[in-house]
Amino acid sequence: MNVRRAAFSAALTASTAIVIAFLLLPVVAIFVDVPPGQLLDGLRSDAAAEALRVTVKTNVIALALVLLFGTPAAYQLARRRFRGRALVVTLVELPLVLPPAVAGVGLLAAFGTLGLLGGTLDALGVSIAFTQTAVVMAVAFVASPFYIRTAIAAFEAVDPALLDAARTLGAGPGRVFVRVALPLAASGLGAGAALAFARGVGEFGATIMFAGSLRGVTQTLSLAIYELFDVDFDAALAVSALLVVVSGTLLLVAKLLPTWTRSPSTFLSGSVRSTSS
């Protein structure tokens, strides 16, 4: 019996070690292959610098749009109970599981010159595909579900009695949203925004199909890595290292945020509290 127990325990430990090693090794390799000095040189290359600029610009705009429209939508979906609500929520989540290439084809089919709205957009003198606008749309398309899902959960966690209390204290629905719902959901919203931003920065498939990879215009960091890696592997490594740092930071923010704002006094011990409150 003891032998079996020990064997099982060893199997668990071994599996955990394999998982961690497999997931961590590629990340570590990026930093081991290139010394830090060379990493910085790689980032100074024109291609990398331009890609960084495009990435920051498109992602900031995309995130702003996701927050602007996603926050009220998530509040609505969290508060209202209506027929077909589950279906709507599932549709919003669809891009989470959609293959990025399919998202790219879909965006082309909808907004491309020959697409569903192509004629209308053309008549208005607007052409979206293969512009920076297309990058923003591709990023927003794949990243918004990450935000909206988290935001719905954050708004659902706000005690409805608090919203009712605010109403009886003379606050209209708009003021209740701004003064009670938003501050109480803020940490969850922040976590969702960090996740969406991380997903957006890493966007590849939908962008390359819908926006192409034009240097200085639509070529983001992810696309630059793809283009650089047979020409200048060191530069590709440098850009990759930068993205590892950015993604890791965003993940950390997403993990820490809910703990942080909920219990300032017991910083970092919040995972237990959050279930009880």
Please give the residue ranges that form the binding site for other proteins (CB under 8 A): 159, 161-162, 164-172, 179-180, 183-184
CB of 82 to other proteins, least distance (A): 16
CA distances from 134 to 48, 106, 124, 220 (A): 20, 12, 16, 12
| Pair of tokens at residue 115 | 């697409």
Q: What is the separation of C-alpha 195 from the centre of its chain, rounded to a whole number of angstroms?
A: 4
In the complex, least distance from residue 184 CB atom to other proteins, rounded to whole angstroms = 6
Closer to other proteins at the Cβ: 124 or 161? 161
What is the end-to-end Cα distance of the chain in Å, rounded? 42
Write down the least CB distance from residue 277 to other proteins, Å: 8
Q: Which residues have C-beta within 8 Å of that of residue 197, sequence separation ≥ 6?
A: 59, 63, 143, 250
Choose between 166 and 221: whose C-beta lies nearer to other proteins: 166
Phi–psi pair at 129, nearest 5 degrees:
-55, 140
Between 94 and 162, name the residue whose CB sits nearer to other proteins. 162
Evaluated on CA atoms 33, 36, 38, 41, the torsion sign reads positive
- The distance of closest approach from Cβ of residue 185 to other proteins in the complex, given in angstroms and rounded to an integer, is 10
79 vs 167, beta carbon nearer other proteins: 167
